[in-house]
Structure 1
Amino acid sequence: MDRQPILEYKDESQAERLARKSKDSPFMILGIVGLIGVCGMGVYKFKSRGKMSTSVFLMQLRVAAQGTAVGALTLGLAYQLGQKYLFKSDTKDN
């Protein structure tokens, strides 16, 4: 009897891995894009922060970036739960 390997290891490039992850969870990509957008906005607004100290500005930027990432992941979780429990089809898959 010929035994099949349980796990097949394949070298993936970073682009292939990102493509696979985006198919598995598209809201993760949305979170990453939002995080990059918030960081870009922070870099742009850094010059016009006024008399605000740098540490306070960076703390507020960190909270905004984390909120964006957590919000995107929460939307993804809500979407998956909705697909699984609220909008499930009447046909049973075997």
Structure 2
Amino acid sequence: MSTNPDISLSSYDEGQGSKFIRKAKETPFVPIGMAGFAAIVAYGLYKLKSRGNTKMSLHLIHMRVAAQGFVVGAMTLGMGYSMYKEYWAKPKP
């Protein structure tokens, strides 16, 4: 079994930044979901001090559900978008 050193895979040649940009162009709702998750978590941490007499565990559960809901919604929209591009928006031959 011989290996050819001249063969290089393009995924190994690109850096993390360019790989993330390429993936974001292929599936634009993934970075939106990640950003929304981070925003909800940051908002939850910011509001942690002024939660009133609400229990800490209840506040954390609400923030977790909101963050998960945003990510699942972004994934659903992304799947719908990719299905639209693949099946309906494709030009007919």
Pair in the same fold by TM > 0.5: yes
Distance 1:15 1:54 in 2: 37
Question: Which residue number in structure 1 is paired with residue 35 of structure 2?
Answer: 33
Distance 2:25 2:45 in 1: 30
Distance 1:20 1:73 in 2: 18
Question: Which residue number in structure 2 is paired with residue 19 of structure 1?
Answer: 21
Amino acid at match of 2:78: G
> Which 4+ residue blocks in structure 1 deviate beyond 3 angstroms?
none
CA displacement at 1:23 relative to structure 2: 1.7
User: Greater shift after overlay, 10-19 or 25-34?
Assistant: 10-19
Distance 1:13 1:66 in 2: 29
CA displacement at 1:10 relative to structure 2: 1.7
User: Greater shift after overlay, 10-19 or 44-53?
Assistant: 10-19
Amino acid at match of 1:32: M
Question: Which residue number in structure 2 is paired with residue 73 of structure 1?
Answer: 75
Per-residue Cα deviation, 1:27-86 (whole angstroms, up to 9, x for no partner): 101101111111111112111111111111111100100111110111010011112222
Please provide the CA RMSD for this pair.
Answer: 2.0
- Secondary structure of the residue aligned to 2:42 is helix
> Which blocks of at least 5 consecutive residues in structure 1 are unaligned?
none
TM-score (norm. length: structure 2): 0.80
Distance 2:46 2:13 in 1: 38
TM-score (norm. length: structure 1): 0.80
